[in-house]
Amino acid sequence: MRVDLLAGATYNPAVMPSPVPTILVFDSGLGGLTVFSEVLKIRPDARYVYAADDAGFPYGRLAESVLAERVVAVMERLIELHDPDIAVVACNTASTLVLPYLRARFSIPFVGTVPAIKPAAQTTQTGYLTVLATPATVARDYTRDLIETYAAGCKVNLVGSRRLAGFAEAELAGSPVSDEELLEELGPCFIEDAGGRTDVVALSCTHYPLLLPRFQTLAPWPVTWIDPAPAIARRVTQLIGQPVPGHEADENETVAVFTSGAGIGLDLREALREKGLPAIAIEDMPLLVG
């Protein structure tokens, strides 16, 4: 079973009147495609910019101050170039840290994604739930606060994987890793003792649903996988309204923007085309950390 509940939203401006909005979906890499696909389903009429800050990937390796400065700088360039009506930060690592900076700096609304701990706690029957995330998301006070607020009565297993986001990128680019490598990262999600066993896994990195079919096959027993992407898409609709009847975006109204583009090969280009992003642009923004 797959649950698509959103962990929560704290930004609630009035519904925007733009009839055919431009929607910016932003991530450090390709994980945000899981969110983009769901937003596209619910607003097929919109113009889209999918932005991958691949020059900064993975964000988990960056110090918090560097990450905040980087995301604000990249977002400033993207907003200047594409003038979006709304931006979706489809990255848990960035959302749990940078959303306050973005909302203070820019006037457009931002929708973030945070670890789906609340719906995981509401869904579990055994009380054993796993939050599968990046090490940076696992370490955030924000994540600990969510656990204390919504899952204090549960056994919460925090699993921070250093490799899964890269595995997901490789999968989409046509170079999947072996089952053995995937199991090394997935295995710690499953706990079983005399009191019960894991029955819910919250996918708390937008990259991870790209690997969901393989997770389901490799899991030692069935669990509920929580992917917040569909609920994030519904949140976008709450903010910008319903689709415009009779209008559907064409290929000239969607573009994938990369800040490096170094890993773009034929397989990835085809994968992006299949997801509705045939046009690719490079907005060169090297990561300067010194």
- Annotate 25-77 with DSSP letters as a single string: EEESSSTTHHHHHHHHHH-TTSEEEEEE-TTT--GGGS-HHHHHHHHHHHHHH
Annotated catalytic residue within 205, 211, 229, 239: 205
Tell me if 246 is assigned to a ligand binding site.
no
- Tokens 């006037």 belong to 107
Residue 58: cis peptide before it, omega within 30 degrees of 0: yes
Residue 27: give the domain boundaries.
22-114+230-282
Is residue 135 within 8 Å of residue 229, measured between CB atoms? no
For the segment 62-90, the average pLDDT, to the nearest whole number, is 96
Among candidate residues 54, 38, 37, 51, the one with its CA nearest the CA of residue 169: 54
Tell me if 161 is assigned to a ligand binding site.
no
- Rounded to whole angstroms, the Cα distance separating 104 from 106 reads 6
Mean pLDDT across the chain, nearest whole number? 90
Above 80 in pLDDT, residue 20? yes
Among candidate residues 42, 3, 44, the one with its CA nearest the CA of residue 20: 44
208 and 125 in a single domain? The answer is: yes
- Tokens 């900064």 belong to 56
The structural domain count of the chain equals 2
Tell me if 92 is assigned to a ligand binding site.
yes
Which of 13-22, 62-71, 181-190, 193-202 is least confident? 13-22
Annotated catalytic residue within 24, 39, 91, 111: 91
Q: What is the structure's pLDDT at 242?
A: 85
Give the pLDDT confidence of 83-129 residue by residue, as tens digits. Answer: 999 999 999 999 989 999 999 999 999 999 989 999 999 999 999 99
216 and 122 in a single domain? The answer is: yes
247 and 259 in a single domain? The answer is: yes
Among candidate residues 244, 131, 122, the one with its CA nearest the CA of residue 189: 131
Domain final position from 196, 211, 226: 226
What does the block give as tokens for 249? 């975006």
158 and 102 in a single domain? The answer is: no
Tell me if 206 is assigned to a ligand binding site.
yes
Q: What is the structure's pLDDT at 18?
A: 53
234 and 110 in a single domain? The answer is: yes
Q: What is the structure's pLDDT at 249?
A: 67
Which phi and psi angles does 129 have, rounded to 5°? -130, 150
- Name the pLDDT band for 263 (thresholds 50, 70, 90): confident
Residue 104 within any structural domain of the chain: yes
Residue 142 within any structural domain of the chain: yes
74 and 205 in a single domain? The answer is: no
Active site (annotated) includes residue 189: no
Half-sphere exposure of 43 (CA within 13 A, CB side): 29
217 and 239 in a single domain? The answer is: no
- Name the pLDDT band for 189 (thresholds 50, 70, 90): very high
Name beta bridge partners: 256.
Answer: 50, 280
Residues 6+ apart with CB under 8 A from 266: none
Residue 110 within any structural domain of the chain: yes
Which of 38-42, 88-92, 218-222, 245-249 is least confident? 245-249
Q: Specify the pTM.
A: 0.87
71 and 95 in a single domain? The answer is: yes
Q: What is the structure's pLDDT at 240?
A: 92
- CATH number where 161 lies: 3.40.50.1860
Residues 43, 99, 162, 267: what is their CA dihedral angle, to the nearest 10 degrees? 30
Active site (annotated) includes residue 91: yes
Domain final position from 226, 258, 273: 226
Which amino acid is residue 272, in one-letter code? Answer: L
Residues in the chain: 290
31 and 174 in a single domain? The answer is: no
What does the block give as tokens for 250? 């064409």
Residue 3 within any structural domain of the chain: no
207 and 147 in a single domain? The answer is: yes
Give start and end residues of each alpha helix (H) in 124-196. Answer: 135-139, 141-150, 164-172, 179-186
Residue 288 within any structural domain of the chain: no
Tell me if 247 is assigned to a ligand binding site.
no
Residues 6+ apart with CB under 8 A from 31: 90, 91, 165, 168, 205, 206, 207, 208, 210
28 and 94 in a single domain? The answer is: yes
- Name the pLDDT band for 198 (thresholds 50, 70, 90): very high
Domain final position from 184, 211, 226: 226
